[in-house]
Amino acid sequence: MLKVIGLIVYVIAGLVGLILVATRVFVPGLILLGSGFVSGTLFLGFGEIVRLLDVISKK
């Protein structure tokens, strides 16, 4: 589930950030792109950690 949320964050932040940059609202658009990348990466990382811990606990 966390991986799906991470991918959704990537897509939404990327689209909205690119739309803002295309409409010449540069600073908020770049901030949104950067923060979307960081938060999406954190969600994907936490999802992978949870998956690995689940595999370890089932051994």
Kindly give the parts of the chain with pLDDT less than 70.
none
pTM for the predicted model, two decimal places: 0.86
pLDDT of residue 59: 85
Q: Where are the domains of the chain?
A: 2-57
Contact 20, 29 (CB under 8 A): yes
Contacts of 10 (CB under 8 A, 6+ apart): 36, 37, 40
pLDDT of residue 31: 96
